[in-house]
Amino acid sequence: MNCDERPKNHSFSLAIIQLSIALVTTAGVSFRGASKIFIFVNLYLDLNLKIPTHATVLNWTKKQGVSQFRDKEFYKKEKWVLILDESIQFGNKKLLLVLSVPENRCEQGKVLSYKDVRPLALKVSSSWKSNDIAIEIEQQIDMEQIAYCVSDGGSNLVAAFKLLNLTHVYDINHKISLIIRSVFEKNSLFKKYTKALALLRTKKSLSNISRIVPVNQRIMSRYMNLTPLFEWGITMTMLLEQNKLTEDEKTALSFLLNSNMKKFVFDTYHILTALNSVQEIMKINGFNEISLNEVTSVLSKMKGGNSSKIKKNLKEYFSELTSTAKGKTICCSSDIVESCLGKHKEIVKGNKSIGISDLCLCIAAVIGGASSEITTETFETVSIKDLKEWKEKNISKTLFAEKIELKKNIERKYYKKE
């Protein structure tokens, strides 16, 4: 690359622009931090680079994000797989993200990367009902170009797919989580075990036996991350049996010595590790005849009543995937869209009070092979006016803007002269 190459009407070189965007979207540096990095680069490397302000870096990132969107005509070239999710609510708003990936890329049976996907839709609303989601998809792509859709099974998303007569593939992570929940939610030993762990966290975290306190568990997705809890149970049981704990610790963990509880913990751990292997196979290879055979082999080693229930539910799920695949390899993981939303949360973590703003364009800036597609053309064709128009179309008033407006209205009324 020519380090002196500059986009038209820009005073910074393309190299500086690329580095600035990469610092934010890839290295996780804040916009202000990216600006400061150039100060220290000049100071310690004795360079004389022009230093962009944080606002300039922000605008560059937004421009790159807007440049990643395509019109309907672009999607007529081939079949596409849509991967959808919506963010957890920020204030009174939710962000809908729809990613598109060529169907032939999914058929390669490899984990999707940011370079493989493009943003089809990125929009904010106070709520996303099925009809609203369906309208948003219809506006961006013709239905005959969609091979199938992948999601976490949210009721509004599934209903939208039905309205559009689209095939839905359930994300493997969330499907297994639902199956685990159906089997263990009302299980008396499971209830007793998790309750005992919760009491240990509550009462012993600051005590002299805090070293044996189990890890915290995410409430929102508790059935998706049970493995560490049962791994802890096995570790503590082994320490008890080998007499490696203090008397106070033995007393606190005495519930693990019950023969039924011990068997339950070990059996459940083996079930969870097998299911983790199933997820890994499906995420890496996609779903096809080969991966199905691998998964079937793993599941055959699961024994016991709970294992039988899980295997029965998974068999039904695999049957649905087989009818969708029709001999091809299909994507059955929505990890890529969740990763994008996670990146957005990381970027805005210090500004949650603002709500969802056009900062969400950072998601679009990092996907679609964005880092390798930052060209002079991008910055010559996308203007500040284009950013404003995109914001007006896709981003409603931010929570911060609503607060300011409310405050101004109150002040005008209060100070109005009679």
Domain positions in the chain are 1-68+367-382, 72-170+334-366, 175-325
Q: Which residues lie closer than 8 Å to 356 by C-beta, 6 or more apart?
A: 87, 90, 91, 93, 94, 95, 124, 348, 395, 398, 399
Report d(CA 216, CA 214) in Å as an integer: 7
Q: What is the largest CA-CA distance in the chain?
A: 83
pLDDT classification of 275: cutoffs 50, 70, 90: very high
Report d(CA 16, CA 263) in Å as an integer: 60
In the 8-state DSSP scheme, what is residue 257?
A: G
Q: Which residues lie closer than 8 Å to 199 by C-beta, 6 or more apart?
A: none
Helices and strands (H, E) in the chain, number of each type? 18, 5
Can you state the angle between helices 384-394 and 54-67, rounded to 10 degrees? 70
Q: What is the mean pLDDT of the chain?
A: 89
Report d(CA 54, CA 91) in Å as an integer: 25
Mean pLDDT, range 253-272, rounded to an integer: 95
Sheet architecture: strand order including 168-170: 118-125, 94-102, 80-86, 146-151, 168-170
Q: Which residue type is seen at 144?
A: E
How far is CA 46 from its chain centroid? 40
Q: Which residue has the higher pLDDT, 368 or 417?
A: 368
Report d(CA 29, CA 39) in Å as an integer: 14
Q: Which residue type is seen at 59?
A: N
Q: Which residues lie closer than 8 Å to 48 by C-beta, 6 or more apart?
A: 42
**361-374 pLDDT tens trace:** 989 998 876 555 56
> Helix (H, G, I), strand (E, B), or coil: what is residue 378?
helix
Name the token pair of 290.
Answer: 């080969």
Per CATH, domain 72-170+334-366 is 3.30.420.10:
yes
pTM of the full structure: 0.88
Phi, psi of 96 (to 5 degrees): -95, 125
**17-73 pLDDT tens trace:** 989 998 988 888 989 999 999 999 999 999 999 999 999 999 999 999 999 999 999
228-232, 249-253, 291-295, 369-373: segment of lowest average pLDDT: 369-373
Number of CB atoms found within 10 A of residue 386's CB: 14
Report d(CA 88, CA 95) in Å as an integer: 8
How far is CA 9 from its chain centroid? 37
Angle at 172 between CA 121 and CA 25, to 5 degrees: 45
